[in-house]
Amino acid sequence: MAVRSQQDDLIQAWRRNRPLLWAVFLFSVFTNVLMLTGPLFMLQVYDRVLGSRSEETLLALALLVTFLFLMMGVLDFARGRVAARIGAKLQASLDDRVFRAALARAGRTGQMQTGLADLEAIQRLLSSPVFLSVFDMPWTPLFLLAIFVFHPWLGMLALGGGATLVLVTLLNQARSKEPLIAANRASGMADRFAGRLQSESELVQSLGMQTHALARWRKMRAQALGQGILASDQVGGFTTLTKTLRLFLQSAMLGLGAYLVLHQQMTAGAMIAGSILMGRALAPIESVIGQWQLIARAREGRQRLVALLQEEKADATRMPLPRPKALLEVNQLSVVPPGQRQPTLRGVTFRVQPGQAVGVIGPSGAGKSTLAKALTGVWKPAGGQIRLDGATLDQYDPDALGQLIGYLPQSISLFDGTLAENIARLEENPAPDAVVSAAKKAAADALIRHQPMGYDTPMSSEGGRLSGGQIQRIGLARALYGDPVLLVLDEPNSNLDNEGSEALNQAIRAAKATGNAVLIMAHRPAAIRECDMLLVLENGTPRAFGPRDEVLRKVLHNADHVVDATRAGAVNGGVS
């Protein structure tokens, strides 16, 4: 088994982009050197051309400057394109890892993560001009040194202005951090609430909740806008201050230069060149302050990504196991649902043989759905073991385990795609025979053929034109697709009519006949008609397990005793 390095995934992805980073660095070297073209041209024009009044010198300088500016533009464009590809490669290399980690976190804790949005925020930063400012900042001291060459007083003014802008940058970071985080958090909450309302639009309208839901969303949205305005005011104030200060410094540089020219301590060309150089030296700092929201969003996203990837380690490579027999063993299983501290299942032990169907019954909240999610590997055991043909579930690759298990949850969701793709578990090129076979086993073939485009009818996550019973049949067909070794059906007949219930029982009989195993979590007696064994759960603990009829007689007998005792207590209480 391969052991994966525990090194930060972001660092690894960043290191894979080293060649491109070196390319951006080299392009930046030549670009910043060529930035001296403008100041040197002005210096030559004022000190040589105007003094000599030579048109030939001016023409030669103009041709040279045109070529140099053209090269600077090409190199600047090239480094921008390379930087954009760094962001794209970083996102592409981490997309799968972040997607799987976000799914794992959602399944483990029940909390939706914004890992992909955080990764996209980093990608946008790397593709923006502010990222290139990082490569321009090391040249700021060089430009300041060039100003010192013109005259120390100009250098001191430029150095003081640069120090002031750096101080403004630090103040911007300190003052705007909390408002930006609060604004992003409030906006995210409002967007999630709006998305939830849209996904449940039929329920909202049917229950007359639209006005109240809109009022609540409007309140959340107003809070998000308020936080956003506060953050924008903070960043905008510093941006305006930086821009105003830079323009003032350029004018101050010209004024001081003019004073020095009047006292014949420098030339007019040096005065103009110094002003241009200072603007170039301070441009990266101004860019960072102006794009601080983008930087803060990417930094916040990186912190969350690091926490997500460190918490949700990548699955180690597992040796593929042969197709197992349908022998399921559960030993002293305890399960703690995501977001809770107390287990909802405790000490559950039972065994399912190949060709057997086991019904799991009990009142609401007994732990039936929790058991179903544990058997499919969605929720990890807090204690005990689940073994399939002798191997614990974590010995199987998650995708391979999913192919071995057919799961029908209580709440069935269809995905954006055709009916055939939904049945085939979103395979891009599913085998038509396997899709049709699964649909026939679930008695869904006829209803699918009556759809406008048959198996190619597009579906959405809301189910579209299908009824609850039809969606349940499609979900059953999806569970049966690929001939899974183990079927886990959670309330499989809750929306089925008589025809659907009969098809369900026929599918269970067919699975048993081929040596597969079936577990059915049920409330309705019709769902356990084909079950050989019965497990009774009560308050998360097993109350009885054994042959179906024997367990039913025992449960009903105990229930009769409870009823008789209750009646006797009521009578005695009345007599007394």
Pair (25, 41) in one structural domain: yes
What number of other Cβ atoms are within 10 A of residue 20's Cβ? 16
Pair (284, 301) in one structural domain: no
Pair (536, 457) in one structural domain: yes
Q: How far apart are CA 538 and CA 507, in angstroms?
A: 28
Question: Is pLDDT of 518 > 90?
Answer: yes
- Contact present, 359 and 526 (Cβ < 8 Å): no
Q: What is the pLDDT of residue 355?
A: 92
pLDDT band at 461 (very low <50, low <70, confident <90, very high): low
Pair (96, 204) in one structural domain: no
Q: What is the pLDDT of residue 566?
A: 32
pLDDT band at 75 (very low <50, low <70, confident <90, very high): very high
Q: What is the pLDDT of residue 187?
A: 80
**Average pLDDT, integer, range 15-29:** 89
pLDDT band at 207 (very low <50, low <70, confident <90, very high): low
Residue 560 lies in a domain: no
User: Can you state the angle between helices 152-199 and 268-290, rounded to 10 degrees?
Assistant: 20
- Contact present, 335 and 374 (Cβ < 8 Å): yes
pLDDT band at 321 (very low <50, low <70, confident <90, very high): confident
Q: What is the pLDDT of residue 111?
A: 59
Higher pLDDT, 502 or 568: 502
Least confident of 59-63, 189-193, 215-219, 534-538: 189-193
Residue 567 lies in a domain: no
Check which CATH number belongs to the domain holding 150 and give it. Answer: 1.20.1560.10
Q: What is the pLDDT of residue 360?
A: 92
Least confident of 80-94, 179-193, 439-453, 533-547: 179-193
Question: Is pLDDT of 462 > 70?
Answer: no
Pair (214, 89) in one structural domain: no
If one counts the domains in the chain, the total is 3
pLDDT band at 2 (very low <50, low <70, confident <90, very high): very low
Question: Is pLDDT of 258 > 50?
Answer: yes
Q: What percent of the chain has pLDDT over 70?
A: 90
Pair (79, 225) in one structural domain: no
Instruction: Determine the length of the chain.
Output: 576
Residue 172 lies in a domain: yes
pLDDT tens digits for 467-490?
888 888 899 999 999 889 999 998
Residue 40 phi, psi (nearest 5): -65, -35
* Domain enclosing residue 26, as ranges: 1-128+297-313
- Contact present, 242 and 194 (Cβ < 8 Å): no
Residue 252 lies in a domain: yes
Exposure string over 380-412, b if 16+ CB within 10 A, otherwise e:
ebeebebbbbeeebbebbeeebbbbbbbbbeeb
**Average pLDDT, integer, range 286-314:** 79
pLDDT tens digits for 347-362?
999 999 999 999 998 8
Q: How far apart are CA 56 and CA 206, in angstroms?
A: 84
Check which CATH number belongs to the domain holding 499 and give it. Answer: 3.40.50.300
Closest CA relative to residue 232, chosen from 290, 283, 288: 290
**Average pLDDT, integer, range 98-117:** 71
pLDDT band at 113 (very low <50, low <70, confident <90, very high): low
Pair (201, 71) in one structural domain: no
Question: Is pLDDT of 145 > 80?
Answer: yes
Which amino acid belongs to residue 349? Answer: T
Q: What is the pLDDT of residue 4?
A: 44
Residue 564 lies in a domain: no
- Dihedral of the CA atoms 33, 36, 38, 39 (nearest 10)? 180
Q: How far apart are CA 353 and CA 407, in angstroms?
A: 18
- Contact present, 74 and 312 (Cβ < 8 Å): no
Contacts of 65 (CB under 8 A, 6+ apart): 37, 41
Residue 571 lies in a domain: no
Q: What is the pLDDT of residue 3?
A: 38
Residue 556 lies in a domain: no
Which of 282, 313, 344 marks a domain boundary? 313
Closest CA relative to residue 518, chosen from 358, 392, 324: 358
Question: Is pLDDT of 109 > 80?
Answer: no
Question: Is pLDDT of 559 > 70?
Answer: no
Pair (3, 113) in one structural domain: yes
Least confident of 44-53, 100-109, 121-130: 100-109
Q: Can you name the residues that pair with 521 across neighbouring β-strands?
A: 360, 490
Pair (471, 401) in one structural domain: yes
Pair (18, 155) in one structural domain: no
Pair (524, 422) in one structural domain: yes
Least confident of 30-34, 273-277, 510-514, 559-563: 559-563
Question: Is pLDDT of 346 > 80?
Answer: yes
Residue 118 lies in a domain: yes
Question: Is pLDDT of 463 > 90?
Answer: no
Q: How far apart are CA 406 and CA 261, in angstroms?
A: 86
Q: What is the pTM of this model?
A: 0.67
Pair (259, 305) in one structural domain: no
Question: Is pLDDT of 504 > 80?
Answer: yes
**Average pLDDT, integer, range 240-253:** 81
- Contact present, 512 and 518 (Cβ < 8 Å): yes
Residue 81 phi, psi (nearest 5): -70, -40
Residue 484 phi, psi (nearest 5): -70, 150
pLDDT tens digits for 366-424?
888 889 989 988 888 889 999 999 898 888 888 888 889 999 888 888 888 889 999 99
**Average pLDDT, integer, range 95-115:** 72
